[in-house]
């Protein structure tokens, strides 16, 4: 069985970019044609939203599957609708897997060990999409409950060729309010980073890989910390949100990559999903061509990252 790090490496290498498209559907911003179709098929507001989210995300997947290695569905947008939304998330994940994409489910799970086992069972399908209901290759995980609570996710990842991305330095403005708490000259986020580097290095050695199945979420909005963390976590694949809508640029994420262009995925959600509502795409494409706007925004992101970071080396 191939480990998560090797599967990710293969996906990035064959498509030639580390750009990651987030799937964050927002009902009030969906193309009118999708909402109309969902309304024609149901009168239940929650069913309408779920059907619209499912169609929207599946169509984004069809557009971006030939361009990027992975997608990151944001569970919260689906969960807010209730059971119909959760079912839509499952179908979206399955659709992405069938399209050949790596699926990183952004659900930020974390609980005491025995409960974490149940979360791991639910999400971490790994190599075989049928191995877990949510069919994800990887899951975002909250480490706040402690080291032992990461272990069930890591164990399941090893068994199934799956991966986790642990929150280390998040992209939000007040990320430091807890993460910067310092004890014995080590900040909380540095402590988390040291723990997951240890786990990732062990897995990388076991698989003779450069990286392990334990990744880290580090925001593009903190380039200084990103640079330090990349050096302190050489075996940890990074998932970097905060590019685009949150103000992070390609220059901010350059330090995340090795000279050959590996080591990180750069996520954009709103900037891609709703490209047709913002310039320059709004002027270039009428709303009926929202998929072309998404395609162009994805191509522009790929070019931006390639021209300003070592990830450009993936093209050669």
List residues with catalytic annotation. 108
For ligand LLZGTKA7, which residue of 267, 296, 298, 309 counts as binding (CB under 6 A)?
267
CA distance 261 to 64: 20
Tokens 């694949």, residue? 237
CB closer to ligand LLZGTKA7 out of 209 and 268? 268
Cβ pair 69, 18 in contact under 8 A: yes
For ligand LLZGTKA7, which residue of 31, 110, 126, 219 counts as binding (CB under 6 A)?
219
Cβ pair 221, 242 in contact under 8 A: yes
277's torsion region: left (phi>0), alpha (psi -120 to 50) or beta? alpha
Minimum Å distance from CB 43 to ligand LLZGTKA7?
A: 30
Please report whether residue 143 would count as binding ligand LLZGTKA7 according to CB under 6 A. Answer: no
Tokens 């639910």, residue? 122
Angle (deg, nearest 10), helices 223-232 and 188-206: 40
Please report whether residue 24 would count as binding ligand LLZGTKA7 according to CB under 6 A. Answer: yes
Which residues between 156 and 195 bind ligand LLZGTKA7 (CB under 6 A)? 170-171
Question: Which one of 1-9, 42-50, 80-88, 263-271 is the stretch in contact with ligand LLZGTKA7 (CB under 6 A)?
Answer: 263-271
Tokens 């069938």, residue? 98
Cβ pair 33, 70 in contact under 8 A: no
Question: Which one of 48-56, 144-152, 193-201, 266-274 is the stretch in contact with ligand LLZGTKA7 (CB under 6 A)?
Answer: 266-274
Minimum Å distance from CB 128 to ligand LLZGTKA7?
A: 26
Minimum Å distance from CB 225 to ligand LLZGTKA7?
A: 12
Please report whether residue 278 would count as binding ligand LLZGTKA7 according to CB under 6 A. Answer: no
Closest CA to 25 of 70, 78, 65: 78
Minimum Å distance from CB 2 to ligand LLZGTKA7?
A: 26
Residue 139's φ and ψ, nearest 5 degrees, are -135, 145
For ligand LLZGTKA7, which residue of 49, 90, 179, 268 counts as binding (CB under 6 A)?
268
CA distance 253 to 238: 10
> How would you classify the pairing of strands 238-240 and 214-218?
parallel
Residues that bind ligand LLZGTKA7 (CB under 6 A): 22, 24, 74, 106, 170-171, 217, 219, 241-242, 244-246, 267-271
């Amino acid at each position: 069985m191939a480990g998560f790090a090797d599967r990710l490496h293969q996906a990035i290498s064959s498509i030639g970019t580390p750009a990651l498209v987030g799937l964050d559907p927002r009902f009030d911003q969906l193309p009118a044609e999708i909402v109309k179709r969902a309304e024609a098929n149901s009168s239940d507001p929650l069913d309408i939203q779920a059907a619209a989210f499912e169609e929207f995300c599946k169509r984004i997947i069809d557009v971006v599957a030939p361009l990027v290695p992975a997608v990151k569905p944001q569970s919260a947008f689906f969960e807010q609708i209730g059971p119909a939304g959760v079912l839509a998330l499952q179908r979206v994940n399955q659709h992405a897997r069938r399209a050949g994409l790596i699926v990183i489910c952004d659900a930020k799970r974390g609980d005491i060990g025995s409960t974490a086992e149940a979360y791991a069972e639910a999400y971490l399908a790994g190599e075989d999409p049928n191995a877990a209901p949510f069919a994800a290759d990887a899951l975002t995980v909250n480490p706040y409950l402690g080291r032992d609570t990461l272990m069930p996710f890591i164990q399941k990842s090893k068994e199934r060729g799956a991966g986790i991305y642990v929150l280390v330095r998040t992209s939000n403005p007040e990320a430091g309010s807890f993460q910067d708490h310092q004890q014995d000259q080590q900040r909380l986020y540095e402590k988390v980073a040291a723990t997951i580097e240890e786990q990732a290095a062990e897995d990388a050695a076991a698989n003779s890989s450069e990286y392990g199945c334990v990744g880290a979420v580090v925001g593009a909005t903190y380039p200084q910390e990103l640079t330090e963390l990349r050096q302190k976590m050489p075996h940890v694949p990074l998932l970097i949100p905060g590019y685009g809508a949150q103000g992070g640029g390609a220059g901010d994420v350059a330090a995340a990559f090795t000279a050959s262009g590996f080591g990180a995925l750069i996520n954009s959600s709103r900037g891609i999903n709703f490209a047709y509502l913002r310039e320059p795409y709004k002027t270039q494409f009428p709303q009926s061509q929202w998929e072309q706007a998404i395609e162009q925004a994805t191509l522009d992101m790929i070019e931006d990252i390639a021209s300003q970071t070592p990830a450009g080396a993936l093209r050669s």
